[in-house]
């Protein structure tokens, strides 16, 4: 019997994720080699500055499964462009052989079988090992930048109100971070944590909501490898809209393109020779921003959880997408001379937890922060016979489970579950533990509401969310996926205008069309409205699992997508 | 983190007179006509062109009840050549003419900031009338959402 580690070592047709100095197809990269830690991490050092980027960890301290989306549509000018390429098309675009470790890491193709072969990914002790190896090699030429959505997404993060992640990240010694879900801990907690950080929390687009003055530092200049690097921070522009703004009422966000341009120019005027935008805008917003704001050399993008093996170039700007949940760490080596990038070398490092050795100090720290909660984290709630995952534009099986729980436990006709892009995956046969459940719903506004809504309002909500996802102008997109619906089917035409994307809304229990003027009992969770009442969503799902200890989900066919 | 400076509220640079109109009840169907009327009353019939005026407003409002909007107009602000007035129009509001700012050469710069209420997703229009009668316009769509499910 091969152990998993041996299996990975022996795997054939492994394409190392090496971006050549000139962007090209992966097929040019080294192939036909065994998978070792060195193969995953090492690359020939290039130039004088190395940027290491990690983003959207969502408080995943331990290795996890995370299935990438099978549907990730782009609209308007970006239709069919990365990251709106999935599955076999993605493999073809980047010259990756199906069935290889990298096909497993980057797509949803044959996910369950490949996950059984290649195992979990991420884990902060593995991430620490990657960072340490690069730091040992590059020394003071390296910057580590955290794109945010770091402090939220797990049971322990929620229990410690982000403290576990702050402690772990501090040990990694980042040079700066920005944020999004961080703000859902509320103004006072965010201030407390931010002030405790030994590195700057940057957000040039965060303003005092009353006086419209900058509330956070916009940029920081750090010298690395003899190069003055200007790191400009950009928090998620729609934090007070996509999340409960009442929890942090004194802060206003927005894209604020003109301010980005001013901050870039100011950093240049302060002597920065390289401008890096550490961004939580989302990929399409950053691609548009790069085309409109001059002077940005590199955008380290986040929020939309895309993992791309090569930079996307927009004019002279490199856009780097480093995935989520600790699955990947990006390394970008730059040759910067006379205030300009002369050449670069890039590697999206997939963090295979069975190949990359854990950093013992970080393992100890992760164990320490989890210790008070270990018994509860491991408490088994049920077993799943189906693959549970969330990521994708329209539905995910973990959301189907949550919607079923809402319908049954809250006695509702229709269930609504937000289209978050975080939430880890479970393979058929795995136990569902408290930790797994909270990975899908840990947050500070978990109340599962139950209310009567007319059919017309349900349609308006679906139209509103669809426009947040499919507006042809990226600046009007919020970066989540479509709201998940239980008990109701509908048809969606993503390329239509707001108000006419959604049709054929049908109540599944009787097949009748949704009547605009009839009230329906709707249960949902994660409302952004203040004073939402109801039990926490995890209690609702736990109650459901107690009565349904074996989860088996049929394929969800209730959303029809017009092509 | 920068500590928030609390300072006395000052009118934005250059704005000498601010007229904010109330929201009289009205029919949205009449909006286009009301916009045309307000525009004509302000410009005296001159056709607005783009350039020189920059309207700054959020793409998506954080709170439709109080949406910050700013305008700046490129002008030497001399006696012979200055910005006379700037008007904000909210196309989808019952009464589209939201505010008019009047300027003189002594204003120094033609910059104004205020907050407006937007009932729903709509275009906000800023129109500048120059001392020589020329009219410049900039438009931006501001989306007012029900509440997001993003993230």
The Cα A256–Cα A205 span in angstroms is 6
pLDDT of residue A4: 53
* Among candidate residues A69, A84, A71, A70, the one with its CA nearest the CA of residue A472: A84
Phi-psi region of B147 (alpha: psi -120 to 50; beta: other; left: phi over 0): left
Give the CA count within 13 Å in the CB-facing half-sphere of A316: 12
**What is the rounded (10 degree) CA torsion for A361, A55, A206, A287?**
160
Radius of gyration (Cα) for chain B, nearest Å? 16
Predicted local distance difference test score (pLDDT) of residue A10: 43
Q: How many CA atoms lie within 13 A of B22 on its CB side?
A: 2
pLDDT value for A26: 37
Q: State the pLDDT at residue A428.
A: 98
B113 in contact with A at a CB cutoff of 8 Å?
A: yes
The dihedrals phi and psi of B46, each to the nearest 5 degrees, come to: -65, 140
At residue A69, the pLDDT reads 98
List Cβ neighbours of A24 (8 Å cut-off, separation of 6 or more).
A310
Q: Lowest mean pLDDT: which of A17-21, A28-32, A487-491, B100-104?
A: A28-32
Q: Is the torsion defined by CA of A457, A461, A462, A464 positive or negative?
A: positive
- Mean pLDDT over all residues of chain B? 81
**Cβ-Cβ contacts under 8 Å, B5 against chain A:** 211, 213
- Taking the C-alpha atoms of residue B47 and residue A398, their distance in angstroms, rounded to an integer, is 56
Question: Which helix (H) or strand (E) covers residue A448, if one does?
Answer: strand A448-454
What backbone phi and psi angles, to 5 degrees, belong to A172? -80, -15
- Ranking A134-148, A191-205, A210-224, B2-16 by mean pLDDT, the lowest is B2-16
Q: Which two tokens stand for residue A74?
A: 């782009």
DSSP code of A80? T
Give me the helices (H) in A94-246, please: 101-106, 111-118, 124-138, 155-160, 163-172, 187-196, 239-242
Mean pLDDT (whole number) for A539-557? 96
Residue B150 pLDDT: 43
How many inter-chain contacts (A to B, CB under 8 Å) are there?
Answer: 100
pLDDT of B22 over the 80 cut: no
Question: Which of A215, A240, A478 is nearest residue B2 as measured by Cβ atoms?
Answer: A215
How are beta strands A519-525 and A448-454 bridged, if at all? antiparallel
Cis peptide leading into A126, omega within 30 of 0?
no
* Closest residue by Cα to residue B61 from A122, A441, A545, A237: A237
State the pLDDT confidence band at B147, using cuts at 50, 70 and 90.
Answer: low
The number of helix segments (H) and strand segments (E) in chain B equals 1, 8
Q: How far apart are CA A132 and CA A331, in angstroms?
A: 12
Residue A34: per-residue pLDDT: 62
Query: How would you write A142-185 as a 3-class SS string?
Result: EEEEECCCCCCCCHHHHHHCCHHHHHHHHHHCCCEECCCHHHHH
What is the per-residue pLDDT for A479? 86
| Percent of residues, chain A, with pLDDT higher than 70 | 94
Residue closest to A491 by CA, chosen among A507, A502, A479: A502
Tell me the C-alpha distance between A213 and A235, whole Å.
15
Q: What is the mean pLDDT of residues A271-280?
A: 98
Query: Scanning every residue of chain B, which has its alpha carbon at the shortest distance from the alpha carbon of A252?
Result: B62
What tokens does A548 get?
A: 């349904």
Backbone angles phi, psi at A34, to 5 degrees: -70, 155
Residue B8 predicted with pLDDT over 60: no
CB crowding A304-327: b at 16 or more within 10 Å, else e: bbbbbbbbbebeebbbbbbbbbbb
User: What is the predicted pLDDT for the residue at B12?
Assistant: 33
> Does A9 or B111 have the greater pLDDT score?
B111
Chain A residue numbers with beta carbons less than 8 Å from the beta carbon of B56 are: 258
**Cβ contact (<8 Å) for B150 and A194?**
no
pLDDT over 90, % of chain A: 92
Q: Which of B1, B59, B151 sits opposite A420 (nearest CB)?
A: B151
**Domains, chain A, ordered by start:** 4-368 (3.60.21.10), 378-561 (3.90.780.10)
Question: Residue A450 class from Cβ within 10 Å (0-12 exposed, 13-18 middle, 19+ buried)?
Answer: middle
Chain B CB contacts of A209 below 8 Å: 62
Give chain A's mean pLDDT. Answer: 93
Beta pairing partners, A426? A388
d(CA A189, CA A201): 14
- A335-394 pLDDT, tens digit each: 999 999 999 999 999 999 999 999 999 999 999 999 999 999 999 999 999 999 999 999
Query: Is residue B104 very low, low, confident or very high in pLDDT (cuts 50, 70, 90)?
Result: very high
Instruction: Read off the tokens for B126.
Output: 């800023």
The whole-number pLDDT of residue A558 equals: 96
For A196, name the nearest residue in chain B, comparing CA atoms only. Answer: B1
Name which of A225, A228, A314 is nearest A276 in CA terms.
A228
Least trusted range by pLDDT, from A224-228, A395-399, B20-24, B145-149: B20-24
- pTM for this predicted structure: 0.91
Chain B, nearest residue to A197 by Cα = B1
What six digits make up the tokens of A47? 């130039």
Q: Is the pLDDT of residue A21 over 60?
A: no
For the record, the structure tokens of A497 come out as 């205008």
In contact, A285 and A479? CB cutoff 8 Å: yes
Strand order of the β-sheet with A274-279 is A219-224, A227-234, A274-279, A298-301, A317-321, A312-314
- Percentage of chain B beyond pLDDT 90 is 69
Q: Would you say how long chain B is, in residues? A: 151
State the DSSP code for A214: B
Interchain pair B147, A498: CB under 8 A: no
Separation between Cα atoms, residue B90 and residue B100, nearest integer Å: 12
Determine the Cα–Cα distance for residues A150 and A130; give it in Å rounded to an integer.
18
Looking at the domain B46-151, which fold is it?
Answer: Immunoglobulin-like (2.60.40)
Q: CA dihedral defined by A72, A73, A75, A81, rounded to 10 degrees?
A: 70
pLDDT at position A14 is: 32
> By C-alpha distance, which of B102, B87, B100, B67 is closest to B139?
B87
Residues 121-150 of B with CB under 8 A from A: 121, 141, 143, 145-150
User: CB of B6 within 8 Å of any CB in chain A?
Assistant: yes
pLDDT above 90 (res B57) = yes
- Answer whether A478 sits within 8 Å of B60, measured CB to CB: yes
A234: pLDDT confidence band, cut at 50, 70 and 90?
very high
CA–CA gap between residue B117 and residue B67 (Å, rounded): 6
Rounded Cα–Cα distance for residues A496 and A73 (Å)? 13
Among candidates B1, B121, B141 on the partner chain, residue whose Cβ is nearest the Cβ of A217: B1
Confidence check: pLDDT of A563 > 80: no
**For residue A80, with 0-12 CB atoms within 10 Å meaning exposed, 13-18 middle and 19 or more buried, which class applies?**
exposed
């Amino acid at each position: 019997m091969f152990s998993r580690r041996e299996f990975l070592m022996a795997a054939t047709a492994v394409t190392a994720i090496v971006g050549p100095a000139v962007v090209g197809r992966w097929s040019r990269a080294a192939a036909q080699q065994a998978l070792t830690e060195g193969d995953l991490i090492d690359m020939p050092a290039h130039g004088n500055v190395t940027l290491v980027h990690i983003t959207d960890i969502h408080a995943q301290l331990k290795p996890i499964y995370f299935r990438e989306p099978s549907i990730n549509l782009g609209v308007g000018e970006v239709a069919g462009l990365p990251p709106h390429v999935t599955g076999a098309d993605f493999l073809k675009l980047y010259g990756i052989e199906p069935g290889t470790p990298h096909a497993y890491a980057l797509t949803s193709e044959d996910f369950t079988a490949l996950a059984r072969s290649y195992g979990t990914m991420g884990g902060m002790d593995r991430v620490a090992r990657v960072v340490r190896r690069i730091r040992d090699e590059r020394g003071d030429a390296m910057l580590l930048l955290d794109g945010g959505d770091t402090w939220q997404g797990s049971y322990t993060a929620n229990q410690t109100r982000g403290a576990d992640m702050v402690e772990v990240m501090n040990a990694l010694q980042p040079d700066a971070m920005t944020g999004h879900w961080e703000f859902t801990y509320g103004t006072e907690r965010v201030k407390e944590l931010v002030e405790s950080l030994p590195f700057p929390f940057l957000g040039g687009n965060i303003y005092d909501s009353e006086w419209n003055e900058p509330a956070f530092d916009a940029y920081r200049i750090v010298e690395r490898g003899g190069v003055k690097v200007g790191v400009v921070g950009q928090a998620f522009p729609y934090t007070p809209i996509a999340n409960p703004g009442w929890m942090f009422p004194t802060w206003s966000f927005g894209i604020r393109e003109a301010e980005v341009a001013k901050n870039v120019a100011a950093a240049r005027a302060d002597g920065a020779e390289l401008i890096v935008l550490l961004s939580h805008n989302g990929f399409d917003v950053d691609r548009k921003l790069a085309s409109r704001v001059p002077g940005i050399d590199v955008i380290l993008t986040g929020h939309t959880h895309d993992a791309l093996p090569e930079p996307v170039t927009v004019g002279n700007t490199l856009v780097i997408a480093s995935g989520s949940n600790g699955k990947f760490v990006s390394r970008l080596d730059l040759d910067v001379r006379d205030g300009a990038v002369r050449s670069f070398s890039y590697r999206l490092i997939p963090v295979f937890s069975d190949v990359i050795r854990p950093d013992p100090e970080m393992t100890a720290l992760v164990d320490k922060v989890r210790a008070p909660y270990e018994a509860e984290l491991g408490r088994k709630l049920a077993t799943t016979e189906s693959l549970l995952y969330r990521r994708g534009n329209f539905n995910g099986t973990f959301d189907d489970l949550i919607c079923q729980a809402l319908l049954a436990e809250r006695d509702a006709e229709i269930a609504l579950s937000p289209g978050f892009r975080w939430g880890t995956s479970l393979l058929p046969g795995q136990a569902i533990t408290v930790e797994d459940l909270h990975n899908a719903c840990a947050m500070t506004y978990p109340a599962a509401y139950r209310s009567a809504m007319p059919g017309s309002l349900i349609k308006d909500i679906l139209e509103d969310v669809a426009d947040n996802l499919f507006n042809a102008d990226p600046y009007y997109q919020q970066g989540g996926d479509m709201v998940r619906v239980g008990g109701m089917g509908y048809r969606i035409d993503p390329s239509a205008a707001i108000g006419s994307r959604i049709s054929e809304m049908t109540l599944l229990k009787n097949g009748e069309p949704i009547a605009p003027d009839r009230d329906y009992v709707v249960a949902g969770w994660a409302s952004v409205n203040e004073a939402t009442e109801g039990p926490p969503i995890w209690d609702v799902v736990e109650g459901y699992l107690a009565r349904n200890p074996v989860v088996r989900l049929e394929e969800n066919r209730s959303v029809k997508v017009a092509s | 983190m920068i500590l928030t400076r609390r300072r006395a509220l000052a009118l934005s640079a250059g704005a000498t007179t601010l007229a904010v109109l109330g929201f009289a009840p009205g029919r949205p169907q009449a909006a286009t006509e009301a916009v045309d009327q307000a525009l004509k009353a302000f410009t005296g019939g001159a056709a607005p062109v783009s350039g020189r005026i920059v309207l700054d407003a959020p793409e998506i409002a954080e709170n439709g009840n109080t949406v910050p909007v700013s305008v700046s107009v490129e002008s030497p602000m001399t006696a012979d050549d200055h910005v006379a007035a700037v008007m904000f129009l909210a196309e989808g509001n019952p009464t589209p003419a939201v505010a008019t700012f009047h300027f003189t050469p002594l204003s120094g710069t033609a910059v104004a900031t205020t907050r407006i209420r937007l009932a729903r997703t709509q275009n906000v229009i800023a129109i500048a009338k120059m001392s020589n009668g020329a009219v410049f316009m900039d438009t931006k769509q501001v989306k007012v959402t029900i509440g997001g499910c993003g993230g």
